[in-house]
Amino acid sequence: MSEPQDVPPVSAEAWFTARLAFETDPADVAADRAAGRPLVLLDVRSRPAWEQGHVPGARHVPGAELADRLGELPPAAEDPSVVVYCWGPGCNGSTKAALVLARAGYRDVREMIGGYEYWAREGLAVETAGGRTRRAVDPLTGVAPPG
C-alpha cells in the first residue's frame, strides 16, 4: 500500500498523540465530569434524537444550526473545553460540528467517539422528558458492575 503523494508521512506516535488530543470516549467524559473537570458537552443531533434521550447536562444545538448559534456557547476567547457528540460511530455530525467550532476559534474541542449510542450502551445515565435512567451495560461494550 503506497502513501498519497501530497501528504507528508506521519509517525505512528504523532498520529495517535494527535488523535488523543482531539478525541475522547464516553467513559473518559464520565470520569472527567465525576472529577469536576469543567467542560461543555454539546449534542449536535436533531431535536427528535435529543428528545429520545441525551447525556444529562449536555447542551443541544443541532449541527446544521451550530454556526448560527455559537453565541449560546461560552466564547472561544474563554478557551472552554468542548466535547461534541452525535448519534454514534456511524454518524459524522460531531466531526463536522467540531470543525465548525475549531474554525470559530475554539482550541480545546474534542469529539466523543461512540457518541450517544455508546454512552447509553455503557450504562451511563441518560435523560429524557420522563427523567433520568440507565440502561443495563451492553456486554459487547463494557463490563457490568458486580452485584
User: Which residues belong to the active site?
Assistant: 86
At residue 143, the pLDDT reads 79
CB 55 within 8 A of CB 43: yes
- SS3 call for 104: coil
At residue 21, the pLDDT reads 94
HSE-up (13 A, CA, CB side) for residue 48? 0
pLDDT in tens, 75-116: 999 999 999 999 999 999 999 999 999 999 999 999 999 999
At residue 1, the pLDDT reads 52
Kind and range of the H or E run holding 127? strand 126-128
At residue 23, the pLDDT reads 97
Q: Which residues, given as ranges, of the chain have pLDDT below 50?
A: none
Domains of the chain: 24-133 (3.40.250.10)
- The pTM assigned to this predicted structure is 0.89
Sign of the CA dihedral running 13, 84, 124, 120 = negative
